[in-house]
Structure 1
Amino acid sequence: MPSISEKGLQMPASPIRKLVPYAEAAKASGKKVLHLNIGQPDIRTPKEALDAVRQAPITTLAYSRTEGSAEYRSKIAQYYAKHGIAVEGEHIIVTTGGSEALSFAMGTIADPGDEVIIPEPFYANYNGFAQANGITVRAVPSRFEDNFALPPIPEFEKRINQKTKAILLCNPGNPTGYLYTQEEIEQLTALALKHDIFLIADEVYREFAYDGRKHHSIMTQAGLENHAILVDSVSKRYSMCGARIGCLVSRNKEVIQASLKFAQARLSPPTLAQIASEAALDTPEQYFTEVIGEYAERRDILIAALEKAEGIRVANPGGAFYCIAELEVDNAENFAQWLLQDFDIDGETIMVAPAEGFYSTPGQGRNQIRIAYVLEKDKLKRAAHILEAGLQQYNKA
């Protein structure tokens, strides 16, 4: 029998999706599953985007340009200008989701054996992208007790060597919901310039900042013109996860030229989804005001419920729509599987994401879960109750 590559064998399974077979089995047995495992918003996609697809005068669904249509890239640049980011369409490559933008970024800046430094916990697929590109992740632990704020800069310095190509962060964070301060972004900017390495920021949750706090982009930092690489996506901003449209943004011409060659190898991003994404940029500001208000209320309800729950500690997120909870269990993945297989309240149970997969340091996060508060408020209340009751029964057993 032919053998599988070592790279394929070492690719990590997604902590967000690996328990799907157990969820499907639970549903087949008649249970209702509340999904807290995946960041799939239940907010409606803007009408502007859906209408643009319905009304598109297309007779042949053709390839688009490799870097995305000129019209769409120009409108993306206008969107960034509203957020104080000065870029042109030529600085943008439209990708098949933010995932492809991350993969292009890693392939562009690093060779096999090179290293990227990432504060952990971090978006689980960073491990997969690094593995696929032969890159070593050097994790810098952040602390639950600090709500996963930026670790001390000396901890980054310890990990920088001749193989270091970049620091990668998610802002606001997935899975933590942490929103980096201006001072923290300035510290990372100074570090990248000092060591002449790239600073990559995954900013797909830019709009989701709460309590009057503001998002600070690396693209607004003076001196980073040749060092900053921005990864973005329409998935969360417009509740368009299925569109699979993102972008890579950099003012560094060599980065764009090299990334374009990776893009050419996959031909072009989806044509219809670009039409929807371009139209989504015309979404009224009121849409975001309402959506952000809704998520802030959901966060407050969930955090309040979990803070009262026995056997649960929860970090308080300032952005995105995730939080990390620590449970009084030895293995959160076993507990999450048990919830699906062996527990329900009135025929209802929950699916959560074990947090160990959001770390690269072995053994870290084994007693943690990531919760996505993307459900209606009543469902979140029920989910928190199911989690607490399930934890108590699991520990008794």
Structure 2
Amino acid sequence: MSLKRFLAATAGSLASLAIVGQSLIAQDPSLYSELEPETIFSGGVQYLAMTRDSNLSPAPNVINGPDSGNVGFQDSDFNFRSGVRAFLSAESSGARIDAVFSNYGNFTARDRGSLTQGLAFDDGLGAAWAGANSITNSTFFSPLANAATPVLGGEADEFEGLGPNGGFPGDALPTWQTWYKSQIQAIELNLLTADHESLFQYGIGYANWQLDEAAGVQISGAFRATDTAGPNNGLSHASLTGVGGLGFSGGTPNGFQDETGNASGIPDTLTLFREARTDNNLNGIQAIMQQEVMYYRGIVVNGILKAGVYHNSAHGSILERYSGVDTGPGGDTSNYGRSFSDSASSIAFVGTVGLQSSVPLTNHWSLIGGYEATFINGVALAPDQNLTSNGTTYNINTHGNVLLHGANAGLQFAY
């Protein structure tokens, strides 16, 4: 073959390869376009600033009388408390899986003060405790009323209560304190759509909510027993256990003594204590909707709605303690008490609405923040736990509700 023919054949082959190559490139856009990653992982942590409110059920008075409106739980103010939220997610093939843990913080409300009058345990309001506060078999601390009131089977020897009264006007006023504690946390596992061409995403998830509470009241003062007939200088062990239904829990089994019953000449300092506790364990399925409401230069604001139905396994208990202490030399202590508990299963509802924003800081880091409100219905709240049948029976109350709301802010990392 001549050199001329060889060069011509070579040139023709190169031209054919060039044409074929251009055709392949035109048909395969992946050779010149950037591929999206198969899976996007993200995670983050948020600081929560939350507060909570509750619509408490009607409850018996802690005490009756001029100070009845001051001693209770209706005016509990939790203010804002600190909490934390951590989350992880994985997004692939148009779907996203989220795992979320939220600890909304420990909510605590406390109040304390002094009564403006003494506290009668029986019908002494018509005599030594005229105009004072009182307890009955329909208020808190009903065992003392039963043990001290003749018409209820109690003692008829004295008018018992906490001073001051007509015979001892110089006694220090009884002191009181109330407390209400609540802890809330949640775990979620959600599956949502991840369609980047749509402003609306939706999904379904499993959630577990834990709500644990305690609410209590304590009143302390000087025990007085004003004689009426055949005095025994106090409230006897037999009356406290036989009529009041209390159990002896330690110390000296001689009931509560006044200044004449104690060898020290000092009346017992008597402390009345009552605390209710509840534990709620909610497990259920929730529906989730998310709508993009604003986008501006990478800044995104989403509206979020969650609603679910739950099975609530609730447990409640009530503990009462009565302690009389002779603070004089050689004085003794007498302790009495009783306790109740109950459990129940019920249906609960949890709904959340909020706004959540994302501001990109780098290719991987974003600043996130928002505001949310969660309503929980069908739970046992500690202040709602009360005794029935004149203070002798306890059935757990699961008709309470909680409104939890506040702001959040944190960082998110995506890769």
Output the TM-score relative to the length of structure 1.
0.20
Larger radius of gyration: 2
Q: Would you tell me which structure has more helix in proportion to its own residues?
A: 1
